[in-house]
Structure 1
Amino acid sequence: MISFNYEIDFVLEEENVYESWIASIIKSESKFLGDINYIFCNDEQLLKINIEYLNHDTLTDIISFDYSEANLIQGDIFISIERVQDNANDFNVSFEHELKRVMAHGVLHYCGYKDKTEKDTVLMRQKEDEKINLFHVEL
């Protein structure tokens, strides 16, 4: 089950479309959907989580807590809407495109993709693009 939670004044339009899309990402990686919680928040909230749980005193767009077991994908994904908007502006893409990239990014981590090395980051970006292209596409 996929749930969307809002800690700020933001609501994802057409949640059911996003649910289907996230499920299709997981299916395309030959994994199974468990419980995934998306929590939309602001920079301040995500910074507190980053400091408390990861000992990183930096702003970030996403923090994911992976509770996956084998091929059952589950976890909590915190997303700063402020960071997503700033990144969209910096990368000259729409807010919606950047939000999809970040939402896919969290699930891709659960599927085993990393982004700590340059090689891993290149693959992660390719996978993000591939999964964004699944939006509105039924598998």
Structure 2
Amino acid sequence: MNLQLDYSNEQDKIDIPEEWSGILTELLQLAGEAEGMTEGEVTLTFIDDEGIHALNRDYRGIDRPTDVLSFAMQDDGTEELDIIFEVESEDEPDPISGMLGDIIISVERAVAQSEEYGHSLEREIGFLFVHGFLHLIGYDHQDDESEAVMTAKQEAVLQRAGLTR
């Protein structure tokens, strides 16, 4: 399996332990395996409420902070910004083709939600990451049925990783 995670921390309000990198990579592998995906790259960025509020407002027209945003690169283009990439040569690989997309998590929201739901911050970050990943590969939760499907998939991955409530 060649699913890769690249993450960065662009907030300074909550400490992100180094060992989370391994946990997040494991979650990506488990979620990819569950979906039959063997290749791709995901970029994860930790941000604060102010930063995610601006992104949510600018890209979704929703003027409030949220917990997680996903920006899929392999989308059909509807309701997403068009990305234009020119390959200089047929011999050079397209650097975007393996990119699944970006996941942005508000660590401040994750802390509040972990306290509200009574589980660890590690579990909440894991839940939001898997949730974002499922969005990147085409899942959504616009109705009760699709939300139940996503929730079941998220919980199955978290259970396999030992991130229980």
Q: Which residue of structure 2 aligns with residue 24 of structure 1? A: 30
Structure 1 residue 119: Cα displacement: 1.5
What is the TM-score with the length of structure 1 in the denominator?
0.87
1:128 aligns with 2:148: no
- Structure 1 counterpart of 2:104, from 78, 81, 85: 78
Structure 1: tracts of 5 or more residues without a match: none
| Structure (1 or 2) with the greater helix fraction | 1
Shifted more, 7-16 versus 107-116: the winner is 7-16
Comparing 104-113 and 10-19, the one that deviates more: 10-19
Using the TM superposition, give the Cα deviation of residue 56 of structure 1 relative to its aligned residue in structure 2, in angstroms. Answer: 0.7
1:108 to 129, 134, 138: 134
Q: Is the contact between residue 39 and residue 79 of structure 1 (CA under 8 Å) also seen in structure 2?
A: yes
Aligned to 1:5: 8
TM-score by length of 2: 0.74
Residue 69 (structure 1) shift: 6.5
| CA 85–17 in structure 1, closer or farther in 2 if over 3 Å, else same | closer
Moved over 6 A (4+): none
- Secondary structure (helix, strand or coil) at the match of 1:133 reads helix
Q: How many residues align?
A: 135
Partner in structure 1 of residue 95 of structure 2: none
AA partner of residue 41 (structure 1): I
- Aligned residue number for residue 144 of structure 2: 118
Q: Matches of 2:34 and 2:17 in 1, distance apart? A: 23
SS for the counterpart of 1:85 is helix
- Structure 2 residue runs of 5 or longer lacking an equivalent are 77-97
Report if aligned partners of 1:6, 1:41 keep a CA contact under 8 Å in 2. yes
Distance 1:69 1:55 in 2: 19
**Deviation for aligned residue 1:12:** 4.0
Q: Distance in 2 between matches of 1:43 and 1:69?
A: 26
**For residue 119 of structure 2, what is the amino acid of its counterpart?**
V
State the identity %: 25
SS in structure 1 of the partner of residue 66 of structure 2:
coil
